[in-house]
Amino acid sequence: MCGMTNETSTIIAKELDLEKKELEREGLRAYLERELLKVKTELFSLAIKYNLKSIKLFEKAVKKGKIHETSETREDFFRWDYLERKIEALENSLKSL
């Protein structure tokens, strides 16, 4: 795996007329924003699949029998929960930049 070395980021920052810390912060911001978009897209796919807007509504639909509990729906439920927590973590990380 090829990583950006300290020397490489220094050279790139100089070529772009940026402070090295600014380049690293903007790189981190771009990464976090890209990850946030991927996670939100996956969550949106689940929302469309079940025609629901939140995990709480998903849970209620299962309890009311509107969604039958299967290994797939359980997996989707836990995935939905994970994605919501990941979105929160990514958004918090972006706020801290």
* DSSP result, 9-68: HHHHHHHTT--HHHHHHHHHHHHHHHHHHHHHHHHHHHHHHHT-SSHHHHHHHHHTTSS-
Burial class (CB within 10 angstroms; exposed 0-12, middle 13-18, buried 19+) of 65: exposed
**Within-domain flag for 75:** yes
What pLDDT is stored for residue 5 in this prediction?
A: 76
14: pLDDT strictly greater than 60 = yes
**Within-domain flag for 4:** no
Provide the CA 90 distance to its chain's centre, in angstroms. 6
3: pLDDT strictly greater than 70 = no
**Within-domain flag for 42:** yes
What pLDDT is stored for residue 4 in this prediction?
A: 64
Say which residue, 73 or 6, is predicted with more confidence: 73
**Within-domain flag for 60:** yes
Tell me the pLDDT tens digit for each residue of 35-86: 999 999 999 999 999 999 999 999 999 999 999 999 999 999 999 999 999 9
**Within-domain flag for 14:** no
**Within-domain flag for 81:** yes
What pLDDT is stored for residue 76 in this prediction?
A: 97
**Within-domain flag for 65:** yes
What pLDDT is stored for residue 54 in this prediction?
A: 93
**Within-domain flag for 52:** yes
Q: Which domain holds residue 77?
A: 27-96
**Count: domains in the chain:** 1
